[in-house]
Amino acid sequence: MLTERIKKLMGWCPMAIEKEKKEFASNSSFGYEFKHRGLRTLLASVHLIIGIGLLVNVFYVIKNMPWFPGWMMEIDIVASMLLSIIALFSIFIAFDIIRAEEAKKVLSLISLIVILVLFVYLAGWTVSATSLSLLQSLQLHYTFTTHTLTLFTLIIALPNLLNLLRKGSYRVERRTGIILILILILIPAAFASLNYYINMQKSMLLIEKGEDYEIYSAVNYWWYQPAVVFVDSDK
């Protein structure tokens, strides 16, 4: 009894201790851990899978990108550039490189804007009904139908939408700003350089150029076929 009185005089409260124990027990429960850590880990894993998957697909498309016709090469370069930006944003969010939740919301918002630009661009090149799967559409020069393009857009946009729905404000820190600038400048610059290099190589094969067509000496381009010329025209 004397010990308890001394403890109470020093500020000790048995009811407060019991309350703290209950709060600790509830916070240590599976539900608390899943809510505060499991969901975050799950969302980061989805971002990582999407980011790596998009980069692998981009490398595959660029590796097998044809020079002719020119409009197909344009689709490959522009769509691959936009997908690379989306993929890098997803990877940065997944690895928690920025750490601040407000900064992640900024990255997710910018990523959604890029996804919208990608959807609008590819919507102008959709094809009619086809038996191509979503994976085949991604690898075959981004040949989507309206349905597969919509499905693909929702898949890559959903994790970013979930980030926006989480509590918190938007704040662009210095570190976030540097990452945004590097990605939004270096990625387009890299693909612009690739496009410039290919056009320089194609110019050496050019025989004749008209208003709506170009004729190339493609005998060296298709070395395994007896092709002599290639008429590049959207007509």
Q: Residue 94: what pLDDT? A: 84
Q: Residue 104 and residue 98: Cα distance in Å, rounded?
A: 7
Return per-residue pLDDT of the chain as tens, 235 residues.
555 554 444 444 555 545 555 555 555 444 544 455 666 778 888 999 999 999 999 999 999 988 878 888 999 999 999 999 999 999 988 876 555 566 778 888 999 999 999 999 999 988 886 778 898 899 999 999 999 999 999 999 999 998 888 766 656 667 777 888 889 999 999 999 999 999 888 888 788 787 777 888 766 555 555 556 667 766 6
Q: Is 145 exposed, middle or buried (0-12, 13-18, 19+ CB in 10 A)?
A: middle
**What is the model's pLDDT at position 20?**
52
Nearest in space to 98 (alpha carbons), one of 186, 182, 179: 179
Residue 92: per-residue pLDDT? 86
pTM of this structure: 0.74
**Kindly report the CA angle at 105 between 82 and 121, in degrees rounded to 5?**
25
Nearest in space to 147 (alpha carbons), one of 65, 139, 155: 155
